[in-house]
C-alpha cells in the first residue's frame, strides 16, 4: 500500500443508540435532513450566552467537526442548559436548519415546544485543564 492509494471510506451508520443522529452523518450529507426534527447527543466544546439565546458547540466523537446548537430561551430545558459549562453532556432535540452565519452550512435550532435540551451530566469546572500545567499537576 502506497501513500497515494485510495482508501475506501467505511459506511457510516445514520443512527446510533437512542435514535440519535451522529454528527459525522450530518457533515457527510445534511441536505436531506434540513428542516427535520432530529436528536443528537454529545459533549459541549464551547458554551456562549447572548441575550435570549444560548450557543453550544457539541461533539459526539464520531468526527472532529462540531455541531452548533442555538437554544432559544423559550425552549424546554433552557434554564438547566444555561448553567452548564464546557464538558457537560447533552441530549438535544431540535430542527436542523441552514445556518445564516458564515463558516458553517447548518445548525440545530431548539426553539419550539416539541424541542428540548437535557443536560445529562454537568462538568465540575476542572475540565478542561486551564493554562499550561506542570507534569506534577497532570499526574495528580
What CATH number is attached to the domain comprising 50? 2.40.50.140
- Give residue 101's pLDDT: 80
- Give residue 8's pLDDT: 72
- Give residue 135's pLDDT: 79
The whole-angstrom separation of Cα 115 and Cα 138 is: 40
* Residue 45 maps to a domain: yes
In the chain, the number of structural domains is: 1
* pTM summary value: 0.79
- Give residue 121's pLDDT: 85
* Residue 41 maps to a domain: yes
Mean of per-residue pLDDT scores for the chain = 85
Which regions in the chain score pLDDT beneath 50?
none
- Give residue 131's pLDDT: 61
% the chain with pLDDT above 70: 84
* Residue 140 maps to a domain: no
- Give residue 54's pLDDT: 94
Instruction: Give the structural domain span for 99.
Output: 15-123
* Residue 74 maps to a domain: yes
The whole-angstrom separation of Cα 88 and Cα 99 is: 24
Contacts 24+ apart (CB under 8 A), 12-21: 12/62, 16/60, 16/62, 18/91, 20/60, 20/91
* Residue 51 maps to a domain: yes
* Residue 1 maps to a domain: no
* Residue 116 maps to a domain: yes
- Give residue 97's pLDDT: 94
* Residue 43 maps to a domain: yes
Amino acid at each position: 500500500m502506497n501513500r497515494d492509494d485510495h482508501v475506501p471510506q467505511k459506511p457510516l451508520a445514520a443512527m446510533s443508540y437512542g435514535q440519535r443522529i451522529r454528527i459525522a452523518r450530518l457533515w457527510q450529507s445534511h441536505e436531506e435532513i434540513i428542516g427535520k426534527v432530529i436528536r443528537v447527543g454529545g459533549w459541549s466544546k464551547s458554551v456562549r450566552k447572548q441575550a435570549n439565546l444560548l450557543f453550544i458547540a457539541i461533539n459526539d466523537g464520531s468526527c472532529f467537526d462540531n455541531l452548533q446548537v442555538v437554544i432559544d430561551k423559550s425552549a424546554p430545558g433552557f434554564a438547566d442548559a444555561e448553567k452548564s459549562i464546557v464538558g457537560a453532556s447533552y441530549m438535544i432535540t431540535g430542527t436542523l436548519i441552514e445556518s445564516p452565519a458564515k463558516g458553517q452550512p447548518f445548525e440545530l435550532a431548539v426553539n419550539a415546544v416539541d424541542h428540548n435540551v437535557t443536560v445529562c451530566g454537568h462538568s465540575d469546572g476542572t475540565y478542561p485543564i486551564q493554562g499550561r500545567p506542570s507534569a506534577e499537576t497532570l499526574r495528580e
